[in-house]
Structure 1
Amino acid sequence: MTLGFSRFEFLIAWRYLRARRAEGGVSVMTWISLIGIALGVMALIATLAVRAGFRAEFVDTILGANAHTTVYVSPQRITNEFTDDVYVVPGRIADYDAMATRLAEVPGVTRTAAIVKGQVMASANDRSNVAEVFGVARGDLEAMPRIVDPATSEGDLERFDEGIAIGSGIARELGVGVGDRIRLIAPEGARTAFGTTPRVSAYEVTYVFSAGRYDIDRTRIYMPLAEAQSYFNREGVADEIEVFVDDPERVGEWTLALMQAAGEGAQTWSWRDSSGSFLSALDMEDDVMFVILSVLVLIASMNITSGLIMLVKNKGRDIGILRTMGLTEGSVLRVFFLCGAFTGILGTLAGVVLGVLLALNVDTIMAGLNALTGGGAWQPEVRGIYRLPAELRAWDIFRAVGLSLVLSFVVTIFPARRAARMNPVEALRYE
């Protein structure tokens, strides 16, 4: 018995797949199997591409407007020696320039930036919104790719030191634009003889940005570092040191080195610490979606078995004649295996083409659906990002193709073995 496929086996298999009118049921089952596999592979590739694109966009919006990791000083507990009361003093970094320099010297760190953070109430035009203020130097703000993107921002960043930069969501909610003034109200402001009173200051909006994330655009304000230190009573200190590294995906490898460089009492908080649980959930959902869609491909592949069983039954006389002419069991098995394999291969190829086309146009499709539903198909306030991108990865396409072909080949073996073991005498007895 030959181990390879012979030319005549391919010819016979291809002839059987082109069923005549009298064998229309076989032809219909073949087309159903092919279309089912194509749709299953298309859904699998498109889903994996959308999931990969969503994760990439989500991570990019995080890293494009936030530090890869931040270094801060732990709060200190101070006990009053007279009353034994315990006070918690927020951690402040007094020598932030020196600490930033030490952190920048750690191998793999690309840059560092000292920041001051605070919560405020922003108001304008009889509207108000809660906002988080980041006090940064202009050079550090200019190094944030999502903030300085000219396609999604307006205003002049050169005038940043003369005012503030606000997110597009805040600008929309307050009804302001570049050149307008907004009031910022901080709960802990000016210190007086009667205690600390809220501080109210008005600033000109010199820059409006969109970071690509709904929550950032709706809550974030950037203020010059020196002004933020004065506004939040942080003269001469910083709240955190932002650190950026070569490979953000492996930011955890720098934790120990950064803590040693920062000194005693320093702690780190990376973007993975804040978003790690969500990314883990995405990874788990990817695996679950792959398994679920694999079941769909399996169901489509099972139609190949039904079609081949019908084909074997219809071709019983042909099998008997071929066997009496000297065709071996192995040749018969390979002929019917090729019948199923052809269906699986053609369906898989069609599914890859359709899946790639769907993935490449998913953003346009979602935009159309969003327009038809009045914005209900994709809600940025729920999803966090403004668009649904797709990222085609060779590994995902390979997984989908491999799964489809393996399933198609496996389900073909049973009816092919049944055809090979058919007794030619029984097949020709009533002919």
Structure 2
Amino acid sequence: MTPRPFSGFEWLIAWRYLRARRSEGGVSVMTWISLIGIALAVFALIATLAVRSGFRSEFTGVILGANAHVTVYAQTYNDEFGRPTRAIRDFDGVAERLQAVEGVTRAAPMVRGQVMLAANGRNSGVEVFGQRPADVQTIPLLAEPERARGDIARLADGVAIGQGVARELNVGVGDKVTMISPNGVQGPFGTTPRISHFEVVYIFAVGRYDIDRTRLYMPLSEAQTFFNHQDTVDEIEVLVTRPDDVAAMIAPILDATGPDYFTWTWRDSSGGFLRALEMEDNIMFVILSILVLIATMNITSGLIMLVKNKGRDVGVLRTMGLSEGSILRVFFICGASIGVAGTIIGVVAGSLFAIYIDPVFGFVNWLLGGGVWDPSVRFLSALPAELRWEDVAKAVGLSLGLSFVVTIFPARRAARLDPVEALRYE
């Protein structure tokens, strides 16, 4: 009776060959090298994919949590003095119509400008976002930032600034800052810079350097006065329930605003950056896949040596009645077992690295004396990592697939050994 494939005796023989010492014709050292190589390659692949996913999620989360999903602007027209402008006059009416659109969760009028902020003999350029205090409290990353000082509910009494701005000016909650704009009051001797003083009531840190270092939020009425906007705003910020499908929201939003307006989405402003991240992810996966391929090639080298050393054994087994298929499966089990074991070790190590990346990175930072991570360069306050099961599945599939494929060729060579030739000189 023909034994079924992968019978117990085939596993027994394969296990015996894997455990054999060099003096017995085995290649135990090569087995360990192959195992460690695959484990390290899978670990590197999972760790890299987790960090890349973390970067993408972190940047996307900050973009969507601290910025408008859709910004509505007015088409350019001439004001009463014949000057071209895009100021929105009936901003409350437009905001109400936008708020009624299905899928829109927030529509907030805003005055936006750039000023010089001064305090304690220091100066810093900041971007001003003038909104109603109630609207500011509905911005996700402003309401629940990484760290915060003060009370955002007191925005009507002052301004909110990023932690980077506060550090640059050496100010805290309750301190006064001076806001200076060159576009001030028109007089007979030209334009006089506008200067106003405000109390810092809230300091936020959302975890992204270019926001914490440049932003200032103030009440809409104060911003309208400071920037000479009277009863107009610059734009209307819109948040939607499904920002990934923001393109589908453009038509209903424009239907609500009318033909005198146009939109700018978060994908218009950051889509190129996200596409670059996606391309980089694909390139990194290809490069690390080559690393996994190189690691699995060690299995081929080890099996070729094992087949050469066990030629006599193969001849004996063939004369005892083992088929070519049984011999092929024995050596396939040898190589595949190494691939499976290395993959499991790599998956466990890579997953633990992604899960506990903060203490691991903290130890590395301490070991190298600090300063390894510069938020001003990388725009994030910490190294992010997000373990996604689809990334783990890709790494596992790649490693096992390559391990099984490279094992077939030396296993077929062993199966095709002529038992007569193998035993000729024995």
Give the TM interval when normalised to the shorter protein: over 0.9
Determine if contact 1:75/1:88 at 8 Å carries over to the other structure: no
1:151 shift after superposition:
5.3
* Alpha-carbon separation, structure 1, partners of 2:187 and 2:369: 52
- CA deviations 1:320-364 (Å, max 9, x no partner) are 111111111111111111110100000000100111111112222
Amino acid across the alignment from 1:101? E
1:193 shift after superposition:
4.1
Residue number in structure 2 paired with 1:84: none
Residue number in structure 1 paired with 2:182: 187
Determine if contact 1:359/1:390 at 8 Å carries over to the other structure: yes
Q: Any residues of structure 2 matched to 1:406-417 within 5 Å, and which?
A: 406-417=401-412
Determine if contact 2:17/2:26 at 8 Å carries over to the other structure: no
- CA deviations 1:51-83 (Å, max 9, x no partner) are 001111111122221111110113336899xxx
Residue number in structure 2 paired with 1:338: 333
Determine if contact 1:64/1:211 at 8 Å carries over to the other structure: no
Residue number in structure 2 paired with 1:83: none
- Greater shift after overlay, 139-148 or 297-306? 139-148
Query: Could you say what secondary structure the match of 1:179 adopts?
Result: coil
Pick one of 147, 165, 168 that aligns with 2:142: 147
1:198 shift after superposition:
1.1
Residue number in structure 2 paired with 1:26: 27
* Alpha-carbon separation, structure 2, partners of 1:290 and 1:250: 26
* Alpha-carbon separation, structure 2, partners of 1:284 and 1:249: 18
Q: Any residues of structure 2 matched to 1:70-81 within 5 Å, and which?
A: 70-76=71-77
Amino acid across the alignment from 2:352? L
Residue number in structure 2 paired with 1:39: 40
Work out the number of aligned pairs and report it: 425
Residue number in structure 1 paired with 2:392: 397
Pick one of 247, 271, 286 that aligns with 1:291: 286
User: TM-score of the superposition, structure 2-length normalised?
Assistant: 0.96
Tell me whether 1:356 sits opposite 2:351 in the alignment.
yes
- Greater shift after overlay, 184-193 or 201-210? 184-193
1:25 shift after superposition:
6.0
Determine if contact 1:154/1:207 at 8 Å carries over to the other structure: yes
* Alpha-carbon separation, structure 2, partners of 1:66 and 1:375: 32
User: TM-score of the superposition, structure 1-length normalised?
Assistant: 0.95
Amino acid across the alignment from 1:10? W
* Alpha-carbon separation, structure 2, partners of 1:36 and 1:276: 38
Query: Could you say what secondary structure the match of 1:369 adopts?
Result: helix
Determine if contact 1:186/1:200 at 8 Å carries over to the other structure: yes
Q: 1:3 to 1:103 in 2, by over 3 A?
A: farther
Tell me whether 1:174 sits opposite 2:169 in the alignment.
yes
Residue number in structure 1 paired with 2:217: 222
* Alpha-carbon separation, structure 2, partners of 1:425 and 1:410: 29
Q: 1:151 to 1:348 in 2, by over 3 A?
A: closer
Tell me whether 1:238 sits opposite 2:239 in the alignment.
no
- CA deviations 1:85-129 (Å, max 9, x no partner) are xx7623011000110111112111111111000110000111000
- Greater shift after overlay, 5-14 or 364-373? 364-373
Amino acid across the alignment from 2:27? V
Pick one of 376, 396, 404 that aligns with 1:381: 376
Q: 1:225 to 1:426 in 2, by over 3 A?
A: same
| Identity, % of aligned positions | 61
Tell me whether 1:12 sits opposite 2:13 in the alignment.
yes
Amino acid across the alignment from 2:12? L
- Greater shift after overlay, 104-113 or 345-354? 104-113
- Root-mean-square deviation (CA, aligned residues, Å) is 1.8
- CA deviations 1:338-391 (Å, max 9, x no partner) are 110100000000100111111112222223333444554211111111111111
Determine if contact 2:18/2:26 at 8 Å carries over to the other structure: no
Q: 1:24 to 1:390 in 2, by over 3 A?
A: farther
- Greater shift after overlay, 183-192 or 126-135? 183-192
1:4 shift after superposition:
2.8
* Alpha-carbon separation, structure 1, partners of 2:420 and 2:152: 89
Q: 1:239 to 1:422 in 2, by over 3 A?
A: same
Determine if contact 2:41/2:291 at 8 Å carries over to the other structure: yes
Amino acid across the alignment from 2:45? L
Amino acid across the alignment from 1:241? I
Q: 1:157 to 1:79 in 2, by over 3 A?
A: closer
Determine if contact 2:21/2:27 at 8 Å carries over to the other structure: no
Amino acid across the alignment from 2:316? I
1:192 shift after superposition:
2.9
Q: Any residues of structure 2 matched to 1:85-104 within 5 Å, and which?
A: 89-104=84-99
Amino acid across the alignment from 1:30? T
1:194 shift after superposition:
4.0
Amino acid across the alignment from 1:353? V
Residue number in structure 2 paired with 1:430: 425
Determine if contact 1:69/1:269 at 8 Å carries over to the other structure: yes
Residue number in structure 1 paired with 2:200: 205
Amino acid across the alignment from 1:43? A
* Alpha-carbon separation, structure 2, partners of 1:22 and 1:263: 85
Amino acid across the alignment from 1:361? Y
* Alpha-carbon separation, structure 1, partners of 2:370 and 2:251: 46
Amino acid across the alignment from 1:68? H
* Alpha-carbon separation, structure 2, partners of 1:313 and 1:176: 75
Residue number in structure 1 paired with 2:260: 265
Residue number in structure 1 paired with 2:248: 253
* Alpha-carbon separation, structure 1, partners of 2:367 and 2:140: 33
* Alpha-carbon separation, structure 1, partners of 2:314 and 2:127: 78
* Alpha-carbon separation, structure 2, partners of 1:134 and 1:57: 22
- CA deviations 1:374-412 (Å, max 9, x no partner) are 554211111111111111111000000000000000000
- Greater shift after overlay, 225-234 or 184-193? 184-193
Q: Which runs of 5+ in 1 are unaligned?
A: 81-86
* Alpha-carbon separation, structure 2, partners of 1:281 and 1:370: 28
1:37 shift after superposition:
0.3
Amino acid across the alignment from 1:16? Y
Query: Could you say what secondary structure the match of 1:70 adopts?
Result: strand
Query: Could you say what secondary structure the match of 2:112 adopts?
Result: strand
Residue number in structure 2 paired with 1:67: 68
Query: Could you say what secondary structure the match of 2:67 adopts?
Result: coil
